[in-house]
Amino acid sequence: MSTTVKTKPEKKAPGTRAAARSARTQDVLRIGGEPRVSLLPPEVGARKRARVLRRRLGLGLIGVVVVVAAGVALAMVSLVGSQLALTEAQLKATDLLAQQRQYGDVLKVKADVVAVTKSQALATAQEIAWAPYIADIQKTLPASMKITAFSAGIDAPFAAQPANVDPLQGPRIATLKLTVSTPQQQISGWLASLNVLPGFVDATPESVTLDQGSPDYLVVVDIHINDGALAKRFVTATK
């Protein structure tokens, strides 16, 4: 049970808000109200707050453990995948080595064939088929002329320029020296017909002599030939 006692407010300086509020609060004084006092010792509240803190820390620690475990599991999966890929690559390499040993002889034979083909192409790079070439020259001879001797040689092996080249003569790689028997000294018409030969550069009479015991003349002619007369037997094989 409570009793309310009215007290006379103290007079304060007029015109101040603080004085008015103080007067209103002091108009009523409550005696015998319901008390609100905590009888628990302070240690109980401290323990309660500590339990809440520990619970929160435990939940945070569990979250960290879960995240770390997930990362470790992902790393393990990636590592296992890498190891499987490495094992597969090693197996393929071993298989390739076994096949290489199995077909090693075949590969060696193929390499030898390529080497021989290149050697053939190099060795015959300036080869001229002289027999067919002489046959072509004979086709240009008049009926009264015949070839009595010939010699041939490469002047510029492997595309080197021959020494002492006459500036009036065209570039050449070979010289064919012919000795022909003819009843007349003038053979300019026949020399002019030689330009149908493959690789023909020019033809120059070297000497004209009377054949002993015969009314015919022996004419020595130098025929210069360029790379248009090359046989090129192995050019297709090297492509």
Distance CA 35, CA 2 (A): 12
User: What's the structural domain count of the chain?
Assistant: 2
Q: Is residue 181 within 8 Å of residue 164, measured between CB atoms?
A: no
Give the pLDDT score at 222: 93
Residue 23 pLDDT > 80:
no
Distance CA 180, CA 208 (A): 10
Portion of the chain with pLDDT greater than 90, in percent: 16
- The CATH number for 197's domain is 3.30.70.2830
Q: What is the pLDDT of the chain when averaged over all its residues?
A: 77
More confident residue, 13 or 138: 138
Residue 237 pLDDT > 50:
no
The answer to the question of residue 134 being in a domain is yes
pTM, entire model: 0.48
Give the pLDDT score at 40: 66
- Together in a domain, 116 and 134: no
- Together in a domain, 136 and 177: yes
Angle at alpha carbon of residue 168, lines to 163 and 174, rounded to 5°? 45
Tokens 């997930």, located at residue: 70
pLDDT digits (tens, 9 = 90+) for 140-176: 998 889 999 999 888 765 545 555 456 556 688 889 9
- Together in a domain, 51 and 99: yes
- Together in a domain, 146 and 88: no
The answer to the question of residue 14 being in a domain is no
> Within a 10 A sphere around the Cβ of 182, how many other Cβ atoms?
19
Give the pLDDT score at 238: 43
Distance CA 57, CA 167 (A): 105
